[in-house]
Amino acid sequence: MAKRILLTSFDIWLKDQQSNSSNDLLLEVTQLNSIPHGLTFLHQLPVDVQLASLRVIQKIDEFQPDYIICCGMAASRKKLSVEVSASCKESILQTTVDVEKLIWGVIATEISHDCGKFVCEGLYYSVLEYLQQKQLTAHCIFVHVPVLTPENLAVIMADFVLIINRLALS
Contacts of 124 (CB under 8 A, 6+ apart): 70, 83, 86, 115, 140, 142
DSSP single-letter state for residue 107: S
- Other C-beta atoms closer than 10 Å to the C-beta of 30 total 11
User: With pLDDT > 70 as the criterion, what percentage of the chain qualifies?
Assistant: 98
Region 2-16 average pLDDT:
88
The domain segmentation of the chain, as residue ranges, is 4-169
pLDDT the model gives residue 32: 85
Which pTM value belongs to this model?
A: 0.96
pLDDT the model gives residue 64: 96
**CA dist., res. 146 & res. 22, Å (int):** 8
**CA dist., res. 8 & res. 16, Å (int):** 22
Q: Is 71 helix (H, G, I), strand (E, B) or coil?
A: strand
Q: Which CATH superfamily is domain 4-169 in?
A: Peptidase C15, pyroglutamyl peptidase I-like (3.40.630.20)
Q: What is the pLDDT of residues 68-84, one digit of tens each?
A: 999 999 999 999 999 99
Indicate whether 152 pLDDT > 80.
yes
Query: Residues 157, 56, 78, 168: is their CA dihedral positive or negative?
Result: negative
pLDDT the model gives residue 36: 65
Residue type, 102: L
Give 100-106 contacts, CB < 8 A, sequence gap 24+.
Answer: 101/166, 102/141, 102/163, 102/166, 102/167, 103/159, 103/163, 106/159, 106/162, 106/163
* Average pLDDT over the chain, rounded to an integer: 94
